[in-house]
Amino acid sequence: LAKTTQPISMDSYEGQEVNITCSHNNIATNDYITWYQQFPSQGPRFIIQGYKTKVTNEVASLFIPADRKSSTLSLPRVSLSDTAVYYCLVGVVDSNYQLIWGAGTKLIIKP
């Protein structure tokens, strides 16, 4: 199983770029990497997903090195509203259908 590890918390300031890295040393060939965002009193919300190299959408970028043992979520020019918990999820596509969630990174954005 691909156990995921991510920092417990991070601080940054408005307008800065924030990078959150997730380690998943035992990732399998068919696994995808997905990041979710969660605000208090809400369920997680999908941010971005990738398999390898780089993926970019309107809110974030996801960098995955060739060995795929880690991934980095990049949030450009953060604002106060980006204060949330960010989860890394590694999907295991096999008959056991395991979904391995990280413990989450609490990101606090300061003015």
Partner 1 sequence: ETGVTQTPRHLVMGMTNKKSLKCEQHLGHNAMYWYKQSAKKPLELMFVYSLEERVENNSVPSRFSPECPNSSHLFLHLHTLQPEDSALYLCASSQGVAVPDTQYFGPGTRLTVL
User: By the criterion CB under 8 A, which residues form the site for partner 1?
Assistant: 4, 8, 30-32, 34, 41-46, 49, 51, 87, 91-93, 96-104
CA–CA dist 16, 2 (Å, integer): 31
CB neighbour list of residue 67: distance below 8 Å, 6 or more residues apart: none
Residue closer to partner 1 by CB (options 13, 46) is 46
- Least Å distance, CB 67 to partner 1, is 20
- Least Å distance, CB 18 to partner 1, is 21
Pairing of strands 33-38, 84-91: antiparallel
